């Protein structure tokens, strides 16, 4: 049974595996103080045109989110996120466990807007409420939509107006940035956010995310926070090394384009067959709404996440394309689905 | 300028002041290990017909809420509350600061229902989400509504079905229980909840709340939690002593009836004049909706909390009656308001 | 049975009771936004010659300590304290519960020295250890010793050299400052610390401590922290009002002198009878070491804290004088003790 | 320059690399719900003769320690550890950041004894102090010593007597158990502790630790805690798979013997040359004390951790052998050192 279950179901892209195999027999210093971490940090800073950024390596999204947020906020400060935000829903209260409230706003698009933020500020305006301080967004979002450049500029402006900080969760940044729906670049992200990360686990790395801190005020003592939260890897070079081949020749971004292209084909197929989606398909996740019986038949052939029942008669399932998804996989899906009805 | 601003704006009811003056020259052991605490705890247990309850004395609502909730929950567990719940909105993230998420549900009535709870359970059902464990309600609620006995029975049942615990915030318990809208008694509350508290600060005590733990599984080591959170009063007897006169001859409940009667008169006056309310007036808080100009004129005469603007043309203000509110105060309000238009 | 058990076993000094009784019938705004809080804050700032200090009112020591420390520190930062420090031993891990380590150093005198601090800094010097940031001292200390001015100056200097902050717990500040062993004044304390508090509960207040923040960088948003930790009193004026008579005519300091004088007489009596002490008697606590049998006989007449067994044959008991301790009480103790042997 | 700097400076043992390469092209479900995790968990349970154990996979020691400890303890409970314990010194306050105090006892051997525990219990015995609940030990210890079976039996007994739980940090378990100084087996550890872990990162795994929960009361909801703390790996099978070859034919234990043998030779060489050690050399860490000038010369040739200055004239340096340390490496060290003087 083939799977469009998620984008982290295989070990790693061949170039990453090659890199790891080439590390055999080499020795490095511990805890990210080695030359590989230094070299890849430099590579990242060059690629995003931010020579003064601080770069840190993590091995997963939740530990990155909770470390960043708890490092930045003072005890009475809170995060603003959309109600489908990963930190709000799928991290088992990781942010609250570090002491901070996640204030959520309802958003059908999965994206946050300046209006959301000003509403939250109006409702949380004295010492009897938390103090909103950090704006959390993800790109692509949890429902596969992506931010346009102008949308990110607008968020930056409202943050500047109100003294807020802007954090982009980039677990699916490759797909988000290479979306044909958006003109946003990684250089834009680096200019417009205070801190963001470049996800690797979901785009061909063995495991790893690169955190980039732009705002100088947030850089001090960050390694203390990584260590305290349990995220400082003894073999830091193991995380960093994987990104070297991914960033050479922009492979990282090419893989992003590839998974989006595969997703677009799947979306067009379903749209062409008259099916609707939970949200516009703009990246590598397709949330298609099917009649219950068709969904059931499909799930006998494919492993897929079942998201919700938009109506009693329909089921929304998620297809997630991966760096290893091929044209044949997509064609096969269409054959299988054609045979179901 | 007279004030219906809140129910804690005077020092204490005369019988409480008498009691305090009678303590002069007496000496007691520290930290709640004295004979007054013991005696009043006994008095409470007798009054609520729960001889095995554990009774603790606190000096404010937020410290009580955060101590109870953090004592009960394991790190991955969460509270369920209505969106207007005090722990969700007006405690500066006190619960999150102890590590726990407060899951909120939208409730126009300010009350929680079994349907709310089962919906939350359905949405939080694996290890990627928090585990809902504690149901938080307040009686009266933040918007002045009160629970009927059958409503509390229904909450108890859904809690039992799903292994949840039920906690009633009783900062305004006197008013809540003495509401003419409800048949609920303090004995019912003691039977149907796992833990609740009997507010004193808002009904004539100098300052103080009595926490009552019914569920035996929650009693162990509770004094450790009080101490750790900073709530263990060196002069525990000072808190306990105030409740002795308040519970003699059920003065506590008579004051509850009094403030509700004063509120009812105010509500009837406004209703008679054609004004509407944010919520049914069932206890000592009246959330009346006035045209903006009338609200403005009124606020020149009275200190009142301005709650919100239900529409661009109207303002909702809160009247809060107190144990010291007199018939004359209510009559005067009507005279003043009559003169405004 | 008379008691030298502690200094918080009576309700309040007569002038405090008078003040409270005079509040009857008056109405105030909530949560410390009233005119009494404002007036007493002004009185304090004048008395300590610090017109720009921020003044807040608390109702107990542990809630003050945990609020201050958690407000000041970032997540990876720690407190330095002596091993007998209140935050290290008798607050049920209140500081750790807010996420911070208390690094302790062994100190026979109960006082902290610059050498202690530099040793801690040398041992905690990279991101694998916590970052020492706040120096916690109490005056008088837990074992009744007091800081001289030069000692506090030296601590200030080492703090300045290493970017540390200095916090004085003043639960027993009246006694500490009025010690004949010390030349330190409250003006010195206000000049040399970043934040300190003026204890009331143990010197005649009903309950209450005045927190004074001197360092401008620590002032912002402090009320958020008070509220979040559960310490923001609905009736803030109730705390503030008590200090007005205590500060009029320096009664606060006169009471400090009185309890020290009573303690000195007790200490001289025991010294004259050849007994030794756990620490020099410099304030209102006397830790006398008695043969076990004498200690046992004494405890049949007096409630006292039993501290430890310095040797198998001896017992250390604590006498604690109070604002209400009289010359007769002290004379009576000597008579009783004389009769024991 | 060759390095005895640490035991995690190479990527992985060849059999682990082979295993990883064999995973290429295979697809698995996320977050540890796959068949590899299931199969290796079974393998572990069989090897330790504990069919009912709960097995979880982590990717580092600190995240394991903080997740276990925060999962087990209630808010007022504390850990007991030796003063050199990893959780007490080298985790940047990770345990305190989850709200819990680490009570330390001084131990020259790096090992904890029943006497240490009973002393801590005597000093922490009411609600004004934390409640000691969890005993943390590591084997081998931070200074390279190892527990004998009888020592662990004695700790188990004192834990049972006082209702304490016993947790063994096994970051260096292979070396600890294969020490010639000890008769303790992994089956003993599984019988005598409530929870322990089997370290992989320091003995040939790419990265990974296997947590084993024996005490049934600690098993419930553990995956919630892993997720909340950020330790639940998207690619759980990546951690588990590495241990399959390490446990086949007991390679894990053979590697433990090998690194101990290499360490023993180094220790014997230094002992034979008249040098002393900070602690008995019982596992793969050698803390040798050298005259300052010799230490300095040696450090020009070898990367080593400098631990402390036992006296002004001497320096203690650590040699740490690794699974890849060869007989030639050891011989070379002796040649180099011989040439220094």
C155 and C290 belong to one structural domain = no
Mean pLDDT of B160-173: 98
The verdict on a CB contact (< 8 Å) between C27 and B3 is: yes
| Closest-CA distance of chain B to residue C160, Å | 30
| Closest-CA distance of chain B to residue D71, Å | 7
Cα A185-A189-A193 angle, rounded to 5 deg: 170
pLDDT tens, position by position, A143-171: 999 999 999 999 999 999 999 999 999 99
Domain assignment present for residue D7? The answer is no
Structure confidence at residue A173 (pLDDT) = 98
D246 and D259 belong to one structural domain = no
Structure confidence at residue D2 (pLDDT) = 64
Structure confidence at residue C2 (pLDDT) = 64
Mean pLDDT of A181-200: 98
Q: How far apart are CA C103 and CA A216, in angstroms?
A: 29
Mean pLDDT, all residues of chain B: 97
The verdict on a CB contact (< 8 Å) between C93 and B228 is: yes
Structure confidence at residue A96 (pLDDT) = 98
The verdict on a CB contact (< 8 Å) between C225 and A131 is: no
Mean pLDDT of B13-22: 98
Nearest one of B121, B205, B110 to B158, comparing CA atoms? B121
B31 and B116 belong to one structural domain = yes
Last residue of a domain, one of D220, D235, D250: D250
Residues of chain A neighbouring D97 (CB-CB closer than 8 A): 98, 228-229
- Of all residues in chain A, the percent with pLDDT exceeding 70 is 99
Task: Examine the pLDDT at A1 and tell me if it is beyond 70.
Answer: no
Domain assignment present for residue D57? The answer is yes
DSSP E strands, chain D: 54-58, 77-82, 102-105, 131-138, 165-169, 195-199, 209-213, 276-277, 285-291, 305-308, 314-320
pLDDT tens, position by position, A253-294: 999 999 999 999 999 999 999 999 999 999 999 999 999 999
Residues 6+ apart with CB under 8 A from A250: none
With contact defined as beta carbons under 8 Å apart, do D104 and D117 qualify? no
Task: Examine the pLDDT at B341 and tell me if it is beyond 90.
Answer: no
ipTM: 0.97
D114 and D218 belong to one structural domain = yes
Domain assignment present for residue C7? The answer is no
pLDDT tens, position by position, B135-145: 999 999 999 99
Residues 6+ apart with CB under 8 A from A71: A218, A221, A222, A225, C74, C75
Domain assignment present for residue C4? The answer is no
Task: Examine the pLDDT at D1 and tell me if it is beyond 60.
Answer: no
D29 and D143 belong to one structural domain = yes
Q: How far apart are CA D252 and CA D44, in angstroms?
A: 12
- Of all residues in chain D, the percent with pLDDT exceeding 90 is 98
A70 and A190 belong to one structural domain = yes
Size of interface A-D (CB pairs under 8 A): 146
Structure confidence at residue B37 (pLDDT) = 98
Which of C96, C128, C129 is the closest to D101 by Cβ?
Answer: C96
D241 and D282 belong to one structural domain = no
| Closest-CA distance of chain D to residue C86, Å | 10
- Of all residues in chain D, the percent with pLDDT exceeding 70 is 99
Question: Scanning every residue of chain D, which has its alpha carbon at the shortest distance from the alpha carbon of C79?
Answer: D93
CATH no. for residue D320? 3.90.1150.10
With contact defined as beta carbons under 8 Å apart, do D207 and D171 qualify? no
Q: Which residues pair with A308 in a beta bridge?
A: A316
Mean pLDDT of D281-301: 96
Last residue of a domain, one of B200, B216, B249: B249
CATH no. for residue A64? 3.40.640.10
- In this complex, the chains that touch A, judged by 3 or more CB pairs closer than 8 A, are B, C, D
Residues of chain B neighbouring A96 (CB-CB closer than 8 A): 78, 96, 99-101, 130
Domain assignment present for residue A3? The answer is no
Tell me the angle at which helices A251-272 and A327-340 cross, rounded to the nearest 10 degrees. 20
D282 and D217 belong to one structural domain = no
Q: Is residue B1 very low, low, confident or very high in pLDDT (cuts 50, 70, 90)? A: low
| Closest-CA distance of chain A to residue C168, Å | 22
Q: Is residue B3 very low, low, confident or very high in pLDDT (cuts 50, 70, 90)? A: confident
Structure confidence at residue C3 (pLDDT) = 75
B245 and B257 belong to one structural domain = no
D261 and D246 belong to one structural domain = no
Measured distance between the N- and C-terminal CA atoms of chain B, rounded to whole angstroms: 19
At residue B107, φ and ψ (nearest 5 deg) are -145, 115
pLDDT tens, position by position, B110-120: 999 999 999 99
Question: What is the pTM for the complete model shown?
Answer: 0.97
Q: How far apart are CA C202 and CA C186, in angstroms?
A: 17
Mean pLDDT of A11-15: 97
Q: How many domains does chain A have?
A: 2
Domain assignment present for residue A119? The answer is yes
Domain assignment present for residue A5? The answer is no
D22: alpha, beta or left, given left = phi > 0 and alpha = psi -120 to 50?
alpha
The verdict on a CB contact (< 8 Å) between C9 and B29 is: yes
Structure confidence at residue D3 (pLDDT) = 75
The residue segments making up the domain with residue C209 are 14-250
Mean pLDDT, all residues of chain D: 97
Structure confidence at residue A7 (pLDDT) = 92
| Closest-CA distance of chain B to residue D227, Å | 6
Residues of chain B neighbouring A101 (CB-CB closer than 8 A): 93, 96, 102
Task: Report strand pairing: D195-199 vs D165-169.
Answer: parallel
Task: Report strand pairing: C276-277 vs C285-291.
Answer: antiparallel
Structure confidence at residue A207 (pLDDT) = 96
B238 and B309 belong to one structural domain = no
Q: How far apart are CA D180 and CA D182, in angstroms?
A: 5
A267 and A323 belong to one structural domain = yes
With contact defined as beta carbons under 8 Å apart, do D241 and D19 qualify? yes
pLDDT tens, position by position, A222-248: 999 999 999 999 999 999 999 999 999
The verdict on a CB contact (< 8 Å) between C234 and B8 is: yes
Last residue of a domain, one of C208, C224, C250: C250
The verdict on a CB contact (< 8 Å) between B75 and D76 is: no
pLDDT tens, position by position, C43-88: 999 999 999 999 999 999 999 999 999 999 999 999 999 999 999 9
Mapping DSSP to helix (H, G, I), strand (E, B) and coil, where does residue D289 land? strand
Q: How far apart are CA A98 and CA B75, in angstroms?
A: 11
At residue B206, φ and ψ (nearest 5 deg) are -60, -55
DSSP E strands, C54-162: 54-58, 77-82, 102-105, 131-138
Mean pLDDT of D216-242: 98
Residues 6+ apart with CB under 8 A from D94: A227, A228, A229, A230, D62, D65, D66, D87
Structure confidence at residue A2 (pLDDT) = 64
pLDDT tens, position by position, A122-137: 999 999 999 999 999 9
**Burial zone of D329 (CB within 10 Å; 0-12 exposed, 13-18 middle, 19+ buried):** middle
- Of all residues in chain C, the percent with pLDDT exceeding 90 is 98
pLDDT tens, position by position, D138-194: 999 999 999 999 999 999 999 999 999 999 999 999 999 999 999 999 999 999 999
Domain assignment present for residue D1? The answer is no
Q: Pick out chain C residues at pLDDT < 70.
A: 1-2
Structure confidence at residue D210 (pLDDT) = 98
């Amino acid at each position: 049974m083939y799977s469009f279950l998620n984008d982290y179901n295989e070990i790693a892209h061949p170039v990453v595996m090659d890199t790891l195999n080439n590390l055999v027999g080499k020795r490095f210093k511990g805890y990210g103080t080695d030359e590989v971490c230094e070299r890849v940090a430099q590579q990242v800073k060059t690629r995003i045109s931010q020579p003064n950024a601080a770069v840190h390596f993590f091995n997963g999204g939740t530990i990155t989110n909770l470390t960043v947020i708890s490092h930045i906020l003072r005890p009475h400060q809170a995060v603003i996120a959309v109600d489908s935000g990963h930190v709000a829903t799928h991290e088992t209260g990781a942010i609250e466990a570090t002491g901070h409230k996640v204030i959520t706003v309802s958003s059908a698009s999965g994206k946050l807007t300046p209006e959301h933020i000003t509403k939250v500020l109006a409702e949380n305006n004295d010492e009897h409420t938390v103090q909103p301080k950090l704006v959390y967004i993800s790109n692509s979002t949890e429902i596969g939509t992506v931010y346009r450049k102008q949308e990110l500029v607008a968020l930056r402006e409202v943050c500047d107006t109100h003294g807020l900080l802007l954090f982009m969760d980039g677990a699916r940044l490759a797909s988000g940035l290479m979306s044909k729906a958006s003109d946003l670049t990684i250089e834009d992200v680096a200019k417009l956010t205070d801190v963001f990360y470049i996800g690797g686990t979901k785009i061909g790395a063995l495991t790893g995310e690169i955190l980039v801190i732009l705002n100088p005020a947030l850089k001090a003592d960050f390694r203390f926070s990584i260590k305290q939260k349990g995220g400082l890897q003894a073999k830091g070079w193991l995380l960093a090394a994987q990104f070297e081949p991914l960033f050479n020749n922009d492979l990282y971004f090419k893989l992003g384009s590839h998974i989006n292209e595969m997703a677009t084909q799947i979306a067009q197929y379903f749209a062409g067959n008259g099916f609707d989606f939970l949200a516009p398909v703009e990246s590598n996740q397709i949330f298609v709404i099917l009649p219950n019986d068709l969904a059931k038949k499909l799930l006998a052939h494919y492993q897929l996440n079942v998201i919700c029942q938009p109506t009693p008669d329909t089921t929304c399932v998620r297809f997630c394309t991966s760096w290893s998804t091929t044209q044949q996989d997509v064609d096969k899906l269409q054959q299988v689905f054609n045979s179901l009805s």
